């Protein structure tokens, strides 16, 4: 581990000390017995005597915790979720929204501004300022209550890390003793770094980096003198002085800080006037803001929480790079929303649409939309809902036939009535239009989505073989090996279908589909790396033959509404009762599944088909998503060796 990395790790660990240790509680009980009489006596001895007396107390109270344990604590830090290009999608945290930074990454203006208003003698005292304590005592004595703290930066750090916010004599004594011990162990810059990263800046924002990003939309290292002074002025009452709430009050606090800096001769008169005159451009409150792609971030956080735990996600400062392209995600979301209102008139026939787009070359999920409106329903139908795929399952059957070595796209199959024994009953499949076409090629049967040939083909190659192929290319949902399986009698998720078709598009090369490309901890160490590891799991010739046939589905079959002006392959899916309709299709660079239906399983209406309802949505999305992608042709089956 490098010295910089070691220092960074140690710095993060010492920021998250427990609020109250058992030792501190026991000590408070002991010191509480001393009472106000002891404090008054010490104060009357004068500031120098106060300092000496407190040193004596520090030596006497040996049951206080060793402040060196601060080096072993890990701070609570916000986790961030990004798209594949590094665009921020969401931040994840509990109460404390914090990003920790090194001391060198904090602008000197901010360091001076904070010290000017909070502890201008910071670099000359040993953790306590006897004169400040004396002034605070007199003010409190005159008021008859605790109205002034007199705390140094080090004492404030102790309070934030170890103690409760109540103002009592006993707690103040503990604060003093621990502050002196911290000053003996840590360098001044280390203490100030801990303080600036720990202190509360308002609106659930902790630490200078997160505060600077929230108040001024910039990093702490880039703050101007004017911005630094305004931030420093917030510490005593962050929400009360917040420029988001009362800008004039914040400007008044800024002027107070700047005047104090001038009084200390830390800035020149010219710098004072320039800072007061500088226009302040505010950012926005960043804590608990909504995700830019909520269906994406929900799915990502669910997966990572299962792997790393909830606390690690909310406090571990993880940097999560997803596979999603935010631009494509927005196209997908807009397509789903626009299509819903354009085609279904506010829910007259269907109340939900789901869409998933997968890159066949990596099996990275590029876009995922789990419903029409996340605000009204957070259910992610793209990954959480299993629906019958109907005829969209038939490519699994045809691939099995081609891979068996006994069939080609031009093989003949008889589209005629057939009945199979099914336990104590009989199963008689029928075509969607109730007609029969006699002897036809497999190409024709799939292009026109004939049911009887699919069932016959399933029996010929074996239902268990079809199930095995589905499992090989990522179908994890339960599949019963029944006679009707070729017609999509099982229930799958849109993500499963999109990923499976992506494998066909890539001529049998498969990687586990994922929404997460990489996860790093707060120190930049990679803790999860989903670099694709493709494996050839299907026969390339059979995959290319299937793709060749599926192109005809779009050019002259049941999905002419899916034509996008470039080579594309795909398959419609419609259940017998018109409850679920699909279109799943692909080009070499992108495979996309679209599902349309109702959450309550109501039928979409007589005549509803995947070609009529889902294919136009797929077409609209693909045209926009591929606008900047070059046109690519599929490889022909002749380029591969037949099984």
Catalytic residue set: 118, 391
Rg (CA), the chain: 34
How distant, in Å, are the alpha carbons of 418, 452, 489 from that of 434? 13, 10, 19
Please calculate the CA angle 544-546-548 and round it to the nearest 5 degrees. 70
Cβ neighbours around 133 below 10 Å, total: 25
Most distant CA atoms of the chain, gap in Å: 111
Q: Is 158 exposed, middle or buried (0-12, 13-18, 19+ CB in 10 A)?
A: buried
Asked whether the beta carbons of 564 and 552 are under 8 A apart, the reply is no
Instruction: DSSP for 179-205, please give it.
Output: HHHHHHHS-HHHHHHHHHHHSEEETTE
Please calculate the CA angle 600-606-607 and round it to the nearest 5 degrees. 120
Query: Please, which residues have CB within 8 angstroms of residue 349's CB and are 6 or more apart in sequence?
Result: 343, 604, 605, 608, 613
Nearest CA to 86 out of 589, 592, 517, 533 is that of: 517
The helix, strand and coil proportions of the chain, stated in percent and rounded to the nearest 5, come to: 50, 15, 40
Q: How many residues does the chain have?
A: 643
Distance CA 380, CA 352 (A): 11
Distance CA 213, CA 273 (A): 25
As beta bridge partners, residue 271 has: none
As beta bridge partners, residue 420 has: 427
Cβ neighbours around 454 below 10 Å, total: 30
Query: Starting from the edge strand earliest in sequence, which strands make up the sheet with 365-369, in order?
Result: 365-369, 352-358, 590-597, 580-587, 569-574
DSSP category for residue 391: G
Instruction: DSSP for 514-555, please give it.
Output: BSEEEEE-TTS-EEEE-----EE-S-HHHHHHHHHHHHHHHH
Distance CA 152, CA 159 (A): 11
């Amino acid at each position: 581990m490098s010295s910089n990395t070691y220092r960074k790790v140690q710095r993060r660990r010492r920021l998250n000390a427990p609020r109250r240790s058992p030792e501190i509680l026991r000590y408070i009980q002991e010191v509480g017995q001393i009472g106000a009489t002891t404090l008054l006596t010490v104060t009357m001895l004068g500031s120098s005597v106060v300092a000496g007396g407190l040193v004596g107390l520090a030596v006497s109270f040996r049951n206080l915790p060793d402040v060196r344990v601060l080096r072993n604590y890990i701070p609570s830090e916000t986790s961030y979720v990004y798209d594949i290009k590094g665009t921020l999608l969401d931040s994840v945290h509990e109460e404390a929204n914090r990003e920790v930074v090194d001391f060198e990454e904090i602008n000197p203006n901010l360091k001076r501004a904070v010290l000017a208003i909070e502890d201008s003698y910071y670099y000359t005292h040993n953790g306590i300022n006897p004169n400040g304590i004396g002034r605070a005592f007199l003010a409190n004595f005159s008021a008859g209550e605790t109205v002034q703290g007199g705390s140094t930066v080090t004492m404030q750090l102790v309070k934030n890390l170890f103690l409760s916010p109540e103002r009592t004599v006993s707690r103040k004594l503990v604060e003093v003793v621990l502050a002196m011990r911290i000053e003996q162990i840590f360098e001044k810059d280390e203490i100030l770094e801990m303080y600036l990263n720990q202190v509360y800046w308002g609106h659930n924002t902790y630490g200078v980096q997160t505060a600077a990003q929230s108040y001024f939309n910039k990093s702490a290292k880039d703050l101007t003198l004017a911005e630094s002074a305004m931030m420093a002025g917030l510490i005593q009452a962050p929400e009360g002085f917040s420029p988001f709430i009362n800008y004039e009050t914040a400007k008044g606090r800024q002027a107070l800080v700047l005047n104090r800096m001038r009084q200390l001769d830390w800035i020149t008169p010219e710098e004072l006037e320039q800072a007061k005159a500088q226009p302040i451009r505010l950012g926005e409150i960043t804590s608990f803001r909504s995700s830019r792609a909520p269906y994406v971030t929900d799915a990502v956080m669910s997966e990572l929480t299962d792997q790393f735990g909830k606390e690690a996600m909310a406090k571990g400062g993880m940097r999560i790079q997803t596979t999603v392209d935010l631009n494509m995600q927005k196209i997908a979301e807009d397509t789903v929303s626009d299509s819903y209102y354009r085609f279904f008139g506010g829910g007259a026939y269907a109340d939900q649409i789901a869409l998933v787009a997968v890159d066949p070359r990596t099996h990275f999920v590029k876009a995922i939309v789990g419903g029409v409106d996340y605000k009204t329903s957070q259910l992610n139908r793209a990954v959480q809902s299993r629906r019958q795929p109907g005829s969209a399952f038939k490519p699994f059957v045809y691939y099995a036939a081609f891979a068996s070595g006994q069939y080609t796209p031009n093989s003949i199959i008889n589209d005629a009535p057939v009945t199979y024994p099914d336990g104590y009953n009989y199963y008689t499949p029928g075509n969607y239009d109730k007609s029969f076409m006699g002897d036809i090629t497999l190409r024709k049967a799939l292009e026109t989505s004939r049911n009887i040939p699919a069932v016959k083909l399933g029996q010929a190659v074996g239902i268990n073989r079809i199930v095995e192929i589905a499992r090989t290319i990522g179908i994890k949902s339960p599949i019963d090996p029944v006679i009707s399986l070729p017609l999509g009698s099982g229930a799958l998720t849109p993500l499963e279908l999109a990923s499976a078709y992506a494998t066909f598009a890539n001529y049998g090369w498969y990687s586990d589909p994922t929404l997460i490309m990489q996860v790093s901890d707060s120190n930049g160490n990679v803790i999860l790396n989903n670099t694709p590891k493709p494996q050839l799991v299907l026969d390339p010739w059979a995959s290319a033959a299937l793709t060749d046939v599926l192109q005809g589905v779009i050019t002259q079959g049941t999905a002419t509404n899916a034509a996008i002006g470039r080579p594309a392959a795909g398959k419609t899916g419609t259940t017998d009762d018109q409850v679920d309709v699909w279109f799943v299709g692909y080009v070499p660079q992108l495979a996309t599944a679209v599902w349309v239906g109702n959450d309550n399983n109501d039928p979409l209406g007589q005549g509803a088909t995947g070609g009529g309802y889902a294919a136009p949505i797929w077409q609209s999305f693909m045209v926009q998503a591929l606008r900047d992608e070059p046109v690519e042709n599929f490889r022909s089956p002749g380029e591969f060796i037949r099984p």
